[in-house]
Amino acid sequence: MSDPAEGAELETPPKKTIIDAHAHIAHEDFTPRSFIDGSIDNLQTAMIARGMPIPRAKVAKMFEKKMQDGLCDTLIAEMDASNVATSILLAADFSYALKDSKLTVEECLKRHHEVKVRHGDRLEVFGGIDPRWGKDGVDLFERSLREWGFRGLKLYPPCGFSPSDPLLDPFYELCDAYGVPALVHIGPTSPVLGFATTAPFLLDDAARRFPRVRFILAHGAVSFTEECAMLCNFRPNVYLDLSAFQGAICPGGGPAAVKTVVSRGINHKILFGTDWPVFRMQADQKTYLESVTCEGGPLAAVPERDRDLIMCGNALRILGEKRTPEASLTRSA
Ligand SMILES: [Zn+2]
Protein backbone atom coordinates (compact mmCIF):
# COMPACT_ATOMS: atom_id res chain seq x y z
CA MET A 1 0.00 0.00 0.00
CA SER A 2 1.43 3.35 -0.93
CA ASP A 3 1.92 6.19 1.50
CA PRO A 4 -1.25 8.36 1.35
CA ALA A 5 0.75 11.54 1.81
CA GLU A 6 2.90 10.59 -1.17
CA GLY A 7 -0.22 9.84 -3.23
CA ALA A 8 -1.80 13.16 -2.30
CA GLU A 9 1.31 14.95 -3.41
CA LEU A 10 1.23 13.21 -6.79
CA GLU A 11 -2.40 14.16 -7.35
CA THR A 12 -1.80 17.86 -6.69
CA PRO A 13 -1.80 19.59 -10.07
CA PRO A 14 1.23 21.78 -10.79
CA LYS A 15 0.73 25.37 -9.75
CA LYS A 16 0.18 27.68 -12.68
CA THR A 17 2.25 30.81 -12.92
CA ILE A 18 0.24 34.01 -12.59
CA ILE A 19 1.42 37.49 -13.55
CA ASP A 20 -0.43 40.55 -12.28
CA ALA A 21 0.27 42.99 -15.09
CA HIS A 22 -1.21 46.05 -13.34
CA ALA A 23 -0.29 47.08 -9.81
CA HIS A 24 1.00 50.15 -7.98
CA ILE A 25 2.95 50.88 -4.81
CA ALA A 26 0.35 51.41 -2.08
CA HIS A 27 1.66 54.65 -0.59
CA GLU A 28 0.40 58.24 -0.60
CA ASP A 29 3.79 59.59 -1.69
CA PHE A 30 2.92 58.43 -5.21
CA THR A 31 -0.57 59.91 -5.42
CA PRO A 32 -1.19 63.67 -5.06
CA ARG A 33 -3.62 64.77 -2.32
CA SER A 34 -5.90 66.46 -4.89
CA PHE A 35 -6.22 63.13 -6.76
CA ILE A 36 -7.13 61.29 -3.54
CA ASP A 37 -9.57 64.05 -2.44
CA GLY A 38 -11.42 63.82 -5.75
CA SER A 39 -11.78 60.05 -5.36
CA ILE A 40 -13.08 60.49 -1.80
CA ASP A 41 -15.65 63.03 -3.07
CA ASN A 42 -16.97 60.38 -5.46
CA LEU A 43 -17.11 57.68 -2.81
CA GLN A 44 -18.79 59.97 -0.30
CA THR A 45 -21.45 61.02 -2.80
CA ALA A 46 -22.33 57.36 -3.38
CA MET A 47 -22.43 56.58 0.36
CA ILE A 48 -24.62 59.58 1.24
CA ALA A 49 -27.05 58.63 -1.53
CA ARG A 50 -27.34 55.16 0.01
CA GLY A 51 -28.07 56.55 3.47
CA MET A 52 -24.56 56.08 4.85
CA PRO A 53 -23.33 59.63 5.57
CA ILE A 54 -19.85 58.60 6.73
CA PRO A 55 -17.73 61.63 7.72
CA ARG A 56 -15.12 62.57 5.14
CA ALA A 57 -12.32 62.28 7.70
CA LYS A 58 -13.30 58.68 8.39
CA VAL A 59 -13.20 57.73 4.70
CA ALA A 60 -9.81 59.46 4.40
CA LYS A 61 -8.54 57.49 7.42
CA MET A 62 -9.73 54.16 5.94
CA PHE A 63 -7.97 55.02 2.71
CA GLU A 64 -4.79 56.09 4.51
CA LYS A 65 -4.69 52.80 6.41
CA LYS A 66 -4.52 50.85 3.15
CA MET A 67 -1.73 53.06 1.77
CA GLN A 68 1.12 52.18 4.15
CA ASP A 69 3.01 49.70 1.99
CA GLY A 70 5.75 51.88 0.53
CA LEU A 71 8.21 48.98 0.24
CA CYS A 72 5.64 46.51 -1.17
CA ASP A 73 6.16 43.95 1.62
CA THR A 74 2.39 43.56 2.06
CA LEU A 75 1.91 43.29 -1.69
CA ILE A 76 4.46 40.45 -1.82
CA ALA A 77 2.66 38.68 1.07
CA GLU A 78 -0.66 38.99 -0.80
CA MET A 79 1.00 37.74 -4.00
CA ASP A 80 2.29 34.70 -2.07
CA ALA A 81 -1.18 34.02 -0.66
CA SER A 82 -2.78 34.23 -4.10
CA ASN A 83 -0.06 32.40 -6.05
CA VAL A 84 1.04 35.41 -8.10
CA ALA A 85 4.65 34.99 -9.23
CA THR A 86 5.30 38.50 -10.53
CA SER A 87 3.53 41.85 -10.40
CA ILE A 88 4.20 44.73 -12.73
CA LEU A 89 4.38 48.03 -10.84
CA LEU A 90 3.15 50.99 -12.85
CA ALA A 91 4.66 54.30 -11.81
CA ALA A 92 2.21 57.03 -12.82
CA ASP A 93 3.65 60.51 -13.31
CA PHE A 94 1.13 63.11 -12.10
CA SER A 95 3.80 65.71 -11.38
CA TYR A 96 3.36 67.79 -14.56
CA ALA A 97 -0.42 68.07 -14.28
CA LEU A 98 -0.97 68.10 -10.50
CA LYS A 99 1.28 70.53 -8.71
CA ASP A 100 0.68 69.02 -5.28
CA SER A 101 2.60 65.86 -6.26
CA LYS A 102 4.93 64.96 -3.40
CA LEU A 103 7.73 63.57 -5.56
CA THR A 104 9.40 64.73 -8.75
CA VAL A 105 9.14 62.26 -11.63
CA GLU A 106 12.77 61.25 -11.09
CA GLU A 107 12.24 60.67 -7.35
CA CYS A 108 9.13 58.62 -8.13
CA LEU A 109 11.00 56.36 -10.56
CA LYS A 110 14.00 56.01 -8.24
CA ARG A 111 11.73 54.87 -5.40
CA HIS A 112 10.21 52.27 -7.73
CA HIS A 113 13.70 51.08 -8.60
CA GLU A 114 14.58 50.69 -4.90
CA VAL A 115 11.44 48.62 -4.31
CA LYS A 116 12.23 46.47 -7.33
CA VAL A 117 15.76 45.82 -6.06
CA ARG A 118 14.33 44.85 -2.64
CA HIS A 119 12.08 42.16 -4.13
CA GLY A 120 14.08 40.96 -7.14
CA ASP A 121 12.17 39.15 -9.85
CA ARG A 122 8.86 39.31 -7.96
CA LEU A 123 8.37 42.84 -9.30
CA GLU A 124 8.88 44.54 -12.66
CA VAL A 125 8.42 48.27 -13.28
CA PHE A 126 6.95 50.34 -16.12
CA GLY A 127 8.15 53.93 -15.66
CA GLY A 128 5.64 56.76 -16.08
CA ILE A 129 6.73 60.08 -17.56
CA ASP A 130 4.55 62.96 -18.79
CA PRO A 131 5.77 63.69 -22.35
CA ARG A 132 5.63 67.43 -21.68
CA TRP A 133 8.84 67.11 -19.63
CA GLY A 134 10.52 67.00 -23.06
CA LYS A 135 14.12 65.86 -23.47
CA ASP A 136 14.70 65.53 -19.72
CA GLY A 137 11.81 63.07 -19.63
CA VAL A 138 13.10 61.11 -22.63
CA ASP A 139 16.58 60.85 -21.07
CA LEU A 140 15.07 59.73 -17.77
CA PHE A 141 13.02 57.08 -19.54
CA GLU A 142 16.08 55.71 -21.32
CA ARG A 143 17.99 55.67 -18.03
CA SER A 144 15.16 53.72 -16.42
CA LEU A 145 15.44 51.08 -19.14
CA ARG A 146 19.22 50.97 -19.39
CA GLU A 147 20.34 51.39 -15.78
CA TRP A 148 17.39 50.26 -13.71
CA GLY A 149 16.03 47.46 -15.87
CA PHE A 150 12.51 48.87 -16.14
CA ARG A 151 10.41 46.86 -18.59
CA GLY A 152 8.00 49.39 -20.10
CA LEU A 153 6.45 52.86 -20.31
CA LYS A 154 3.36 53.86 -18.33
CA LEU A 155 1.29 56.74 -19.72
CA TYR A 156 -1.52 58.62 -18.00
CA PRO A 157 -3.33 60.62 -20.72
CA PRO A 158 -6.02 62.00 -18.31
CA CYS A 159 -3.21 64.35 -17.21
CA GLY A 160 -3.95 66.22 -20.45
CA PHE A 161 -2.16 64.73 -23.48
CA SER A 162 -3.17 62.38 -26.27
CA PRO A 163 -1.37 59.02 -26.46
CA SER A 164 -0.66 59.89 -30.12
CA ASP A 165 0.83 63.32 -29.32
CA PRO A 166 4.07 63.75 -31.36
CA LEU A 167 5.79 64.64 -28.08
CA LEU A 168 5.60 60.92 -27.32
CA ASP A 169 7.44 59.86 -30.49
CA PRO A 170 10.91 59.78 -28.87
CA PHE A 171 9.47 57.69 -26.01
CA TYR A 172 7.91 55.22 -28.46
CA GLU A 173 11.18 55.12 -30.42
CA LEU A 174 12.88 54.00 -27.20
CA CYS A 175 10.13 51.42 -26.59
CA ASP A 176 10.83 50.11 -30.09
CA ALA A 177 14.62 50.10 -29.64
CA TYR A 178 14.48 48.35 -26.26
CA GLY A 179 11.58 46.04 -27.16
CA VAL A 180 9.40 47.17 -24.25
CA PRO A 181 5.64 47.92 -24.21
CA ALA A 182 3.76 51.14 -23.52
CA LEU A 183 0.78 50.83 -21.18
CA VAL A 184 -1.86 53.56 -21.61
CA HIS A 185 -4.55 54.40 -19.05
CA ILE A 186 -8.01 54.35 -20.62
CA GLY A 187 -11.24 55.82 -19.21
CA PRO A 188 -12.26 57.22 -15.82
CA THR A 189 -10.00 58.58 -13.12
CA SER A 190 -10.18 61.00 -10.19
CA PRO A 191 -12.50 64.01 -10.81
CA VAL A 192 -9.44 66.25 -10.57
CA LEU A 193 -8.46 65.09 -14.09
CA GLY A 194 -10.49 65.22 -17.31
CA PHE A 195 -12.01 62.63 -19.64
CA ALA A 196 -11.07 64.41 -22.89
CA THR A 197 -7.89 62.42 -23.60
CA THR A 198 -8.92 59.03 -22.19
CA ALA A 199 -10.65 57.43 -25.20
CA PRO A 200 -8.92 54.39 -26.78
CA PHE A 201 -9.17 55.48 -30.44
CA LEU A 202 -6.80 58.36 -29.60
CA LEU A 203 -4.08 55.71 -29.51
CA ASP A 204 -4.73 54.44 -33.03
CA ASP A 205 -2.42 56.88 -34.80
CA ALA A 206 0.55 55.98 -32.57
CA ALA A 207 -0.26 52.25 -32.77
CA ARG A 208 -0.09 52.43 -36.57
CA ARG A 209 3.04 54.59 -36.70
CA PHE A 210 4.91 52.34 -34.24
CA PRO A 211 3.95 48.81 -35.33
CA ARG A 212 6.78 47.15 -33.36
CA VAL A 213 5.69 48.72 -30.05
CA ARG A 214 3.17 46.71 -27.99
CA PHE A 215 0.49 49.01 -26.57
CA ILE A 216 -1.59 47.86 -23.59
CA LEU A 217 -4.96 49.54 -22.98
CA ALA A 218 -5.20 49.62 -19.18
CA HIS A 219 -8.74 48.89 -17.90
CA GLY A 220 -9.80 47.96 -21.46
CA ALA A 221 -12.07 45.20 -20.09
CA VAL A 222 -14.25 47.69 -18.22
CA SER A 223 -13.86 51.09 -19.94
CA PHE A 224 -14.76 51.75 -23.61
CA THR A 225 -14.86 47.96 -23.94
CA GLU A 226 -16.21 47.90 -27.49
CA GLU A 227 -13.51 50.21 -28.84
CA CYS A 228 -10.76 48.46 -26.87
CA ALA A 229 -11.80 45.01 -28.12
CA MET A 230 -11.96 46.40 -31.68
CA LEU A 231 -8.42 47.78 -31.44
CA CYS A 232 -7.16 44.45 -30.06
CA ASN A 233 -8.89 42.61 -32.90
CA PHE A 234 -7.66 44.81 -35.73
CA ARG A 235 -4.27 46.12 -34.57
CA PRO A 236 -1.62 43.41 -34.21
CA ASN A 237 0.26 45.42 -31.58
CA VAL A 238 -2.63 46.47 -29.28
CA TYR A 239 -3.49 44.59 -26.06
CA LEU A 240 -5.73 45.27 -23.06
CA ASP A 241 -5.66 44.43 -19.37
CA LEU A 242 -8.39 43.23 -17.01
CA SER A 243 -7.55 45.64 -14.20
CA ALA A 244 -10.49 47.27 -12.38
CA PHE A 245 -12.65 44.21 -13.12
CA GLN A 246 -13.43 44.32 -9.38
CA GLY A 247 -15.43 47.52 -9.75
CA ALA A 248 -18.67 48.12 -11.59
CA ILE A 249 -17.57 50.91 -13.89
CA CYS A 250 -19.79 49.57 -16.67
CA PRO A 251 -23.11 47.75 -16.29
CA GLY A 252 -22.39 44.13 -15.38
CA GLY A 253 -18.89 44.98 -14.09
CA GLY A 254 -16.74 42.62 -12.05
CA PRO A 255 -16.60 38.97 -13.14
CA ALA A 256 -19.29 39.70 -15.77
CA ALA A 257 -16.94 42.17 -17.46
CA VAL A 258 -14.21 39.51 -17.54
CA LYS A 259 -16.62 36.97 -19.00
CA THR A 260 -17.64 39.37 -21.78
CA VAL A 261 -14.13 40.32 -22.83
CA VAL A 262 -12.78 36.74 -22.88
CA SER A 263 -15.43 35.71 -25.40
CA ARG A 264 -14.38 38.10 -28.18
CA GLY A 265 -11.61 36.11 -29.85
CA ILE A 266 -8.86 38.29 -28.39
CA ASN A 267 -7.59 36.07 -25.58
CA HIS A 268 -4.09 36.26 -27.06
CA LYS A 269 -4.27 40.02 -26.33
CA ILE A 270 -5.62 40.03 -22.74
CA LEU A 271 -3.42 40.46 -19.65
CA PHE A 272 -4.60 39.69 -16.14
CA GLY A 273 -4.25 42.67 -13.77
CA THR A 274 -5.71 43.78 -10.45
CA ASP A 275 -4.89 47.50 -10.07
CA TRP A 276 -3.67 46.91 -6.50
CA PRO A 277 -4.15 48.86 -4.18
CA VAL A 278 -7.17 50.61 -5.70
CA PHE A 279 -9.66 47.95 -4.54
CA ARG A 280 -7.97 47.08 -1.21
CA MET A 281 -10.81 48.62 0.83
CA GLN A 282 -13.23 45.89 -0.31
CA ALA A 283 -11.19 42.64 -0.37
CA ASP A 284 -7.73 41.06 -0.64
CA GLN A 285 -5.86 39.87 -3.73
CA LYS A 286 -6.65 36.19 -3.07
CA THR A 287 -10.39 36.88 -3.06
CA TYR A 288 -10.18 38.87 -6.29
CA LEU A 289 -8.03 36.27 -7.99
CA GLU A 290 -10.36 33.46 -7.02
CA SER A 291 -13.36 35.45 -8.30
CA VAL A 292 -11.76 35.18 -11.75
CA THR A 293 -10.21 31.71 -11.64
CA CYS A 294 -12.77 29.78 -9.55
CA GLU A 295 -14.73 26.83 -10.87
CA GLY A 296 -17.77 28.19 -12.70
CA GLY A 297 -16.10 31.63 -12.78
CA PRO A 298 -15.71 33.92 -15.81
CA LEU A 299 -12.80 31.88 -17.23
CA ALA A 300 -14.54 28.50 -16.80
CA ALA A 301 -15.64 28.27 -20.43
CA VAL A 302 -12.31 29.51 -21.77
CA PRO A 303 -10.01 26.78 -23.20
CA GLU A 304 -7.07 26.05 -20.88
CA ARG A 305 -4.53 27.31 -23.40
CA ASP A 306 -6.27 30.69 -23.61
CA ARG A 307 -6.62 30.84 -19.82
CA ASP A 308 -2.87 30.37 -19.48
CA LEU A 309 -2.28 33.13 -22.02
CA ILE A 310 -4.48 35.55 -20.05
CA MET A 311 -3.10 34.73 -16.61
CA CYS A 312 0.55 34.67 -17.67
CA GLY A 313 1.54 33.77 -21.25
CA ASN A 314 0.68 37.06 -22.93
CA ALA A 315 2.57 39.10 -20.32
CA LEU A 316 5.57 36.76 -20.54
CA ARG A 317 5.60 37.01 -24.34
CA ILE A 318 5.54 40.82 -24.25
CA LEU A 319 8.17 41.08 -21.51
CA GLY A 320 10.32 38.56 -23.38
CA GLU A 321 10.71 40.88 -26.35
CA LYS A 322 13.19 43.09 -24.49
CA ARG A 323 16.06 44.12 -26.77
CA THR A 324 19.40 45.85 -26.21
CA PRO A 325 19.76 48.59 -28.79
CA GLU A 326 23.10 49.34 -30.44
CA ALA A 327 22.64 53.04 -29.67
CA SER A 328 22.45 52.59 -25.94
CA LEU A 329 25.47 50.27 -25.94
CA THR A 330 27.53 52.89 -27.78
CA ARG A 331 26.36 55.66 -25.46
CA SER A 332 27.11 53.79 -22.26
CA ALA A 333 30.55 52.64 -23.50
ZN1 LIG B 1 -3.81 51.52 -12.13
**Torsions phi, psi for 91 (to 5 deg):** -100, 100
**Mean pLDDT across the stretch 237-244?**
96
Return the pLDDT at 281: 82
* Cis previous bond, 188, omega within 30: no
> Which of 91-105, 153-167, 173-187, 291-305 comes out lowest in average pLDDT?
291-305
pLDDT at 189 over 80: yes
**Mean pLDDT across the stretch 96-101?**
96
CA 250 to ligand 1 centroid distance, Å? 17
pLDDT at 17 over 80: yes
* Edge-to-edge strands, sheet with 152-155: 19-23, 86-91, 123-128, 152-155, 182-185, 215-218, 238-241, 270-271
CA 324 to ligand 1 centroid distance, Å? 28
CA 276 to ligand 1 centroid distance, Å? 7
| C-alpha–C-alpha distance, residues 101 and 31, integer Å | 7
Distances 78 to 24, 265, 288 between C-alpha atoms, Å: 13, 31, 11
Return the pLDDT at 254: 74
pLDDT at 4 over 50: no
CA 136 to ligand 1 centroid distance, Å? 24
Q: Where are the beta strands (DSSP E) in 18-157?
A: 19-23, 26-27, 68-69, 86-91, 123-128, 152-155
Q: Where are the beta strands (DSSP E) in the chain?
A: 19-23, 26-27, 68-69, 86-91, 123-128, 152-155, 182-185, 215-218, 238-241, 270-271
| C-alpha–C-alpha distance, residues 275 and 258, integer Å | 14
Q: What is the mean pLDDT of the chain?
A: 90
pLDDT at 63 over 90: no
CA 36 to ligand 1 centroid distance, Å? 13
pLDDT at 1 over 60: no
More confident residue, 264 or 47: 264
